[in-house]
Amino acid sequence: MKKVLNVALLVCVLLLGYICVFSIVDTLNFQKEKKARDAQVIARLIDIRSAQVEFRNHNGGQYTDSFDELINFVKNDSVPFVKKVGELTDAQLENGWSEQKVTSLIKRARTAKKPADAKKAWQELVDAGFAKFNPDGSTNLLYSRDTSWVAVLDTIYPKGFCPDSLRYVPFGNGAEFEMAVGCDSSNKSGTKIYLFEAKTPYTVYLNGMNKTELANIIDDQVKLDRYPGLKVGDAEIGNNNAGNWE
């Protein structure tokens, strides 16, 4: 009888050991897969943030809560790109020169209708060190600020980027990110600060994974009063568009 009990005890010990090992392995596998999925969702949220910041810069400081509007902006709008040649020296600054003043003089030299007016403007630029005359009489600018327009898509994303992907959550089976805008004027000056957020809960992009592990991480975040998922920005309190993973 004692021998039978010992065998039964050994079986129980082995079974409990197997359950413990299996539980540890299952947790490690869950964490590994979660980390891989987190990385792709975070990358997409950073792409959304980049688009929103550019949108804000060209729309009076305001963001948009519409993916249709945001994606259309990325696809079809352009942003100014200033090609800079040369910098103002301390001596030139002391003599009252500024970027605006030099740019205005260059424009006057280029568009002057009378040759004498153009020659006078070019001579002033040469004397101030912003240009030089070539042996053939032509002028070579040593300082310029030329503005051209570049597509938003080519400015903030790598070649081949698909703007339509911005709205979709990786591993979300077609689910879209939640996006909202807000305004905070609680600062001392009362100045309005426009805000935005984009987010997706764990249940969307971790769907199909171990339900117990998923429930545990959600419970942990809720207990800490944190958003149970990944989120960038905040539509209620300014946080400099930070992600909750940063």
pLDDT in tens, 155-187: 889 999 999 999 999 999 999 999 999 988 766
Domain shared by 47 and 111, yes or no:
no
Residue 21 or 210, more confident: 210
Tell me how crowded residue 238 is: count the other CB atoms within 10 A of its CB.
Answer: 16
Domain shared by 44 and 164, yes or no:
yes
Domain shared by 113 and 180, yes or no:
no
Question: What value does the mean pLDDT of the chain take?
Answer: 87
**CA-CA distances (angstroms) from residue 234 to 92, 222, 225?**
45, 17, 15
Please count the structural domains in the chain: 2
In a domain, 32, yes or no: no
Residue 46 structural domain: 38-76+157-233
Is a pLDDT exceeding 70 seen at residue 122? yes
For 37-67, the pLDDT digits (tens) are: 999 999 999 999 999 999 999 998 999 999 9
CA-wise closest residue to 101 among 119, 117, 125: 125
Last residue of one domain, picked from the residues 115, 142, 169: 142
Whether pTM exceeds 0.85: no
**CA-CA distances (angstroms) from residue 10 to 3, 6, 13, 15, 44?**
11, 6, 5, 8, 51
Is a pLDDT exceeding 70 seen at residue 4? no
Is a pLDDT exceeding 60 seen at residue 9? no
SS3 of 139, please? strand
